Amino acid sequence: MTTMDEQRIAELLRSAPVPEPRVDLSRAVRDGRRRRQRRRVGGIAALTVLAGVGVVGAVQVGGTASPPAPTTPALAVSPAETGPAAQRPTVTCQASWLRQPVGGPVAVANGVDPTGRHIVGDIGTGQEDGRVVLWTDGRPAVLPATARHAAAVNASGHVVGTNGDGTGWLYRDGKLRFLATPPGYDAVLAHAINGRGDIVGTARRSDDSHQAVLWSTDNPQKYRLVGERGSSATGITEDGTIVGTVGDRPYRWTPQGVGAALAVPDGYPRASVESAQGEWAIGMVPGDEQGGAVRMLPVRWNLATGAVSLLPFPGASGIAGTGEVLVGDGAPLIVAPDGTSRRLPGRPEVRATEAGTYTAEGISDDGLTVVGAVYENQAYRPLVWRCTR
């Protein structure tokens, strides 16, 4: 779930009837994903992903405040890497289709567990008829119809998400259970789950007050509020470190619940954290206003050192435990902390070449499994990239 989704949902909650608010969170999620997709596609078309990348080129990730605007790289059928090859092992990747157990023109894989074994996605028409699908070792299973809008999956294959009425849910061992909504709140947004069974998200009220929440897969009807009022939790690492925000500040909490603000890049008033894996996290800062809209810029934090870097891309959709950033715009690219990059290959039978044909939404802990979709002939098809070193 992105910060943009949260903002949209907050607006809907403020306008919801009281005392029995019923918020169309499903539409908010859809709208947020559509806006995120338009932002990514528009960004890659107008701004492109990074400077100086052709079929093969060098990429250096720095902390500059103004990302460059070169030409957009085309997606190669075979992977291309940048940087000095002698300094790192060769990585080869292959794109494969994920089987679709139900029909629908909108079929997208949007999450993968740290091991790369479990993949979660949605299949439907893009309306409120979508079904959540869990692929384990490539085998699909359709979750119960009362589960909508999956957010994340862990290494045990446990899935969390949020329904259209603001109810959080957990799918574990073939059974669907619901997350407790803290008293005084109208809805929750489940964002992430780790291998220990910790689930994090945000509880919200119609007056836009909100607070980070921690649940457990062992007892999803119990919860613990995290931080202070005005906090939100958007990610959790395998050791239980939580990331999110307090007000306009990016924040982290230790497994013991001790919180501290994360650094904001120089010259920027605020930042938000989107997700974390290992010792790394990614998020966004507000950039220049273009066409009446603020262009959001991606940032990366090293949670071990506290260092923050502004990234020269129009968007980043995931981060691996290795610190590799997934740039999912049209021609998916993985960029390492040292600035070297590798582009993911396309499918030879896919003829569409325009920006936005390929989207990449999730990356495994080792950076060797990426999930997403292909848009061609007015339909999305789910895709997984498997890489080896």
Q: What is the pLDDT of residues 146-205, one digit of tens each?
A: 999 999 999 999 999 999 999 999 999 999 999 999 999 999 999 999 999 999 999 999
Q: Where are the alpha helices (DSSP H) in 123-219?
A: none
Question: Looking at residue 315, what is its pLDDT?
Answer: 86
* Termini Cα distance of the chain: 31
- Spatial separation of the C-alpha atoms in residues 1 and 151, rounded to whole Å: 6
Full DSSP string of 317-385: -EE-TTS-EEE-EES-EEE-TTS-EEEPP--TT----STTSEEEEEE-TTS-EEEEEEEETTEEEEEEE
Question: Looking at residue 351, what is its pLDDT?
Answer: 84
Backbone angles phi, psi at 352, to 5 degrees: -65, 140
Cα Rg of the chain, angstroms: 19
150-153 sheet: strands from edge to edge = 150-153, 159-162, 168-172, 175-178
Q: What is the pLDDT of residues 125-156, one digit of tens each?
A: 887 789 999 999 999 999 999 999 999 999 99
What domains sit in the chain, N to C, each tagged with a CATH number? 3-388 (2.130.10.10)
Sites in the chain below the pLDDT cut of 50:
1-81, 84-86
CA angle 138–142–144, rounded 5-degree value: 155
- Please check whether residue 328 is in contact with residue 313, taking contact to mean a CB–CB distance below 8 angstroms: no
Question: Looking at residue 79, what is its pLDDT?
Answer: 42
Question: Looking at residue 129, what is its pLDDT?
Answer: 80
Question: Looking at residue 87, what is its pLDDT?
Answer: 61
- Please check whether residue 319 is in contact with residue 61, taking contact to mean a CB–CB distance below 8 angstroms: no
Residue with tokens 């403020």: 14
Full DSSP string of 54-115: SSS--------SS----PPPPPPSS-EE-S-GGGS---EEEEEEPP-SS--SEEEEEEE-TT
Question: Looking at residue 42, what is its pLDDT?
Answer: 31
Dihedral of CA 250/297/319/202: which sign? positive
